[in-house]
């Protein structure tokens, strides 16, 4: 019996044209996520998506891939059949005869209300077919096993397991965001959360060359490679920041260095955003977590931005962010030893925790900011990352 994947997604707030756009993006993402898995094109099917699988499909691989497609609330490997009662009874029985259980229930759902039987009548008819063939009890509240039957037009899909999807919105329905990725624990989690809201992420990493080794770039690459499995293809901008830091540290009061570094990073990230047609920047900052992340400092940093700076971790505790990084699988890469914060040579002993914007602006006025931004952009390198299973020709 060839099987299909039935994919469910939330439809709340998806009306009219918007809904078709959402479904088309999701279909396309499902097809790409299943690259190399034997399947036919994903198709829309009354409030759900069906992906027909070929004989050679590896279900474990399909399962891992589908659990990373945003917009999917759940998915199931189903056996398709007609909506003829005998066919549904037989398909349900073929599935259930393999399974160990004492209690079960049938859960039918019709999208075609014109069907001659109600869902309850289908449940009863299929349930008694099973009970005639093996000893078991029906338990509607807490069964060992549920057999789902979804009727859509002339077809029905029968399955026993629902795998949770990652939720969120399909990557591509939102805009593009340039995320500042440091190599630390927080920023990859922040990028993930923004991606999960349907946005495509372009990554930018500032490194300390020529004053530091390349370790932080290696970590950034590893993180981007990992996160690319959620959006299939990524760009990573690598910006040498050592000279810029040196210039700032030569010209400016050490107390203000960190805020000034961040303001420069924001400006360079905005140049990249312009090039990539991004509508916002993203960072991994969380309120009050470290000295540079006080409300006063965030205000001083944001004053340099013209695009919105999104900080999805703003209200999160470090403990929660670490747990999220572990669940996401980025924690290990983030804690591998690497040079943090570009070049430590230029780190002030005691950064100011409550910068006053006027003072920041006064200190910054000693710098030729535009020249520094040009210098950063002039030596930027861009690398492309693909999900490992993607056909390079796609
Ligand atoms: P993270 O764990 O993400 O490094 P953090 O707690 O160390 O964050 P900061 O060092 O204050 O916090 O950095 C705040 C944010 O600024 C980071 O989350 C990241 O978005 C951005 N950022 C800092 N350093 C860099 C860098 N070298 N390259 C790119 N972005 C950076
Ligand atoms: Mg950091």
pLDDT band at 214 (very low <50, low <70, confident <90, very high): confident
CA of 387 from ligand 1 middle (Å) equals 25
**Same domain membership, residue 363 and residue 253:** yes
**Same domain membership, residue 347 and residue 216:** yes
Encode pLDDT of 13-33 as tens digits.
566 778 889 999 999 999 999
Which atom of ligand 1 is least distant from the CA of 216? 27
Which range has the worst mean pLDDT, 159-168, 281-290, 346-355? 346-355
**Same domain membership, residue 207 and residue 123:** no
Please, which residues have CB within 8 angstroms of residue 285's CB and are 6 or more apart in sequence? 186, 293, 298, 311, 313, 314
Is 165 within 8 Å of 85 (Cβ atoms)? no
**Same domain membership, residue 189 and residue 245:** yes
**Same domain membership, residue 339 and residue 256:** yes
pLDDT band at 253 (very low <50, low <70, confident <90, very high): confident
Structural domain count, the chain? 2
Residue closest via CA to ligand 1's atom 20 equals 283
Residue closest via CA to ligand 1's atom 22 equals 182
Q: Which two tokens stand for residue 297?
A: 């400092």
Give the ligand at the shortest distance from the Cα of 186: 1
The answer to whether residue 11 scores a pLDDT higher than 90 is no
CA of 240 from ligand 1 middle (Å) equals 15
Residue closest via CA to ligand 1's atom 13 equals 285
The answer to whether residue 51 scores a pLDDT higher than 60 is yes
Nearest to 314 by CA among 302, 326, 327: 302
Residue closest via CA to ligand 1's atom 11 equals 292
Domain hosting 281: range is 176-386
Residue closest via CA to ligand 1's atom 21 equals 180
Q: Which two tokens stand for residue 108?
A: 């039918």
Q: Given 141, 164, 187, which residue is the final one in a domain? A: 164
CA of 67 from ligand 2 middle (Å) equals 29
**Same domain membership, residue 375 and residue 284:** yes
**Same domain membership, residue 69 and residue 89:** yes
**Same domain membership, residue 199 and residue 160:** no
Sheet with 200-207, edge to edge strand ranges: 309-310, 280-282, 176-180, 200-207, 233-240, 381-386
Q: Ligand 1 pocket test: which of 185, 187, 355 has the largest number of ligand atoms within 8 Å of its C-beta?
A: 187
CA of 342 from ligand 1 middle (Å) equals 10
Residue closest via CA to ligand 1's atom 17 equals 284
Nearest to 196 by CA among 184, 185, 188: 188
The length of the chain is: 394
169 occurs within a structural domain = no
With pLDDT > 70 as the criterion, what percentage of the chain qualifies?
97
**Same domain membership, residue 255 and residue 365:** yes
Q: Is the dihedral of CA 341, 344, 346, 349 positive or negative?
A: positive
The predicted structure's pLDDT at residue 140: 95
393 occurs within a structural domain = no
CA of 340 from ligand 2 middle (Å) equals 6
Tell me which of 348 and 117 has the higher pLDDT. Answer: 117
21 occurs within a structural domain = yes
Whole-structure pTM value: 0.94
Helix (H, G, I), strand (E, B) or coil at 255: helix
Encode pLDDT of 142-182 as tens digits.
999 999 999 998 999 999 999 999 999 999 999 999 999 99
**Same domain membership, residue 210 and residue 109:** no
392 occurs within a structural domain = no
* CA distances for 115 relative to 7, 79, 87, 150, 151, angstroms: 22, 20, 15, 12, 9
In the block, residue with structure tokens 């590893």: 222
Residue closest via CA to ligand 1's atom 12 equals 285
What is the mean predicted confidence (pLDDT) over 22-46? 94
CA of 233 from ligand 2 middle (Å) equals 24
CA of 209 from ligand 1 middle (Å) equals 17
Helices (H), the chain: 16-33, 59-66, 85-96, 119-131, 186-196, 215-231, 242-251, 257-276, 295-302, 318-328, 331-335, 357-364, 369-378
Per-residue burial over 140-160, b = 16 or more CB atoms within 10 Å of its CB, e = otherwise: eeebebbbbbbbbeeebbbbb
User: What is the rounded distance in angstroms from the CA atom of residue 388 to the CA atom of residue 12?
Assistant: 33
Give the ligand at the shortest distance from the Cα of 289: 1
Residue closest via CA to ligand 1's atom 16 equals 283
CA of 163 from ligand 2 middle (Å) equals 35
Which atom of ligand 1 is least distant from the CA of 258? 11
Is 255 within 8 Å of 297 (Cβ atoms)? no
Q: Ligand 1 pocket test: which of 181, 182, 204, 324 has the largest number of ligand atoms within 8 Å of its C-beta?
A: 182
Which atom of ligand 1 is least distant from the CA of 188? 3
The predicted structure's pLDDT at residue 283: 98
Encode pLDDT of 292-348 as tens digits.
789 999 999 999 999 999 999 999 999 999 999 999 999 999 998 877 777 777 888
Please, which residues have CB within 8 angstroms of residue 326's CB and are 6 or more apart in sequence? none
247 occurs within a structural domain = yes
Give the ligand at the shortest distance from the Cα of 190: 1
Q: Given 138, 164, 190, which residue is the final one in a domain? A: 164
82 occurs within a structural domain = yes
391 occurs within a structural domain = no
**Same domain membership, residue 241 and residue 152:** no
**Same domain membership, residue 112 and residue 188:** no
CA of 156 from ligand 2 middle (Å) equals 51
Q: What is the CATH number of the domain that holds 329?
A: 3.40.50.620
171 occurs within a structural domain = no
List, chain by chain if needed, residues with CB within 6 Å of any ligand 1 atom: 180-182, 184-187, 205-206, 283-285, 289-290, 292-293, 341-342
The answer to whether residue 65 scores a pLDDT higher than 60 is yes
CA of 385 from ligand 1 middle (Å) equals 21
The predicted structure's pLDDT at residue 355: 82
Nearest to 148 by CA among 112, 101, 109, 119: 109
Q: Which two tokens stand for residue 335?
A: 């804690």
Q: What is the CATH number of the domain that holds 141?
A: 3.30.2130.30
């Amino acid at each position: 019996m060839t099987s299909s994947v039935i994919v469910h997604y939330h439809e709340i707030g998806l009306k009219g044209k918007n809904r078709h756009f959402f479904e088309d993006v999701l279909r396309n993402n499902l097809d790409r996520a299943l690259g190399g898995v034997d399947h036919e094109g994903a198709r829309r099917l009354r409030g759900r998506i069906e992906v027909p699988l070929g004989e050679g499909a590896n279900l474990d691989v399909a399962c891992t891939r589908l659990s990373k497609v945003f917009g999917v609330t759940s998915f199931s490997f189903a056996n398709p059949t007609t909506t003829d009662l005998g066919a549904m009874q037989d398909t349900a029985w073929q599935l259930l005869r393999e399974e160990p259980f004492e209690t079960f229930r049938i859960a039918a759902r019709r999208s075609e209300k014109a069907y001659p039987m109600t869902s309850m009548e289908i449940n009863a008819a299929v349930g008694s077919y099973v009970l005639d063939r093996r000893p078991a009890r029906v338990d509607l509240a807490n069964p060992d096993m549920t057999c789902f039957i979804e009727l859509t037009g002339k077809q029905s899909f029968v399955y026993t397991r629902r795998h949770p999807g990652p939720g969120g919105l399909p990557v591509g329905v939102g805009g593009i965001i340039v995320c500042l990725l440091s190599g630390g624990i927080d920023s990859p989690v922040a990028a993930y959360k923004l991606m999960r809201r349907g946005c495509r992420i372009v990554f930018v990493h500032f490194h300390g060359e020529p004053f530091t080794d390349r370790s932080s770039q290696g970590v950034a690459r590893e993180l981007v490679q990992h996160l690319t499995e959620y959006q299939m293809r990524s760009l990573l901008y690598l910006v040498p920041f050592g000279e810029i830091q040196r210039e700032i540290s030569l010209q400016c009061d050490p107390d203000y260095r960190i805020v000034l570094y961040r303001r420069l990073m924001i400006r360079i990230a905005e140049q990249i955003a312009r090039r990539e047609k991004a509508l916002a920047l993203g960072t991994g900052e969380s309120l009050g977590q470290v000295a540079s992340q006080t409300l006063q400092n965030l205000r001083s940093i944001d004053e340099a931005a013209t695009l919105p700076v999104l900080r999805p971790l703003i209200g999160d505790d470090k403990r929660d962010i670490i747990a999220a990084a572990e669940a996401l699988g980025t924690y290990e890469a983030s804690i591998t030893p690497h040079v943090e914060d570009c070049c430590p040579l230029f780190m002030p002993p005691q950064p100011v925790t409550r910068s006053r914007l006027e003072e920041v602006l006064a200190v910054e006025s000693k710098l030729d900011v535009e020249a520094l931004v040009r210098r950063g952009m002039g030596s930027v390198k861009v690398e492309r990352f693909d999900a490992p299973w993607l056909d390079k020709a796609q």
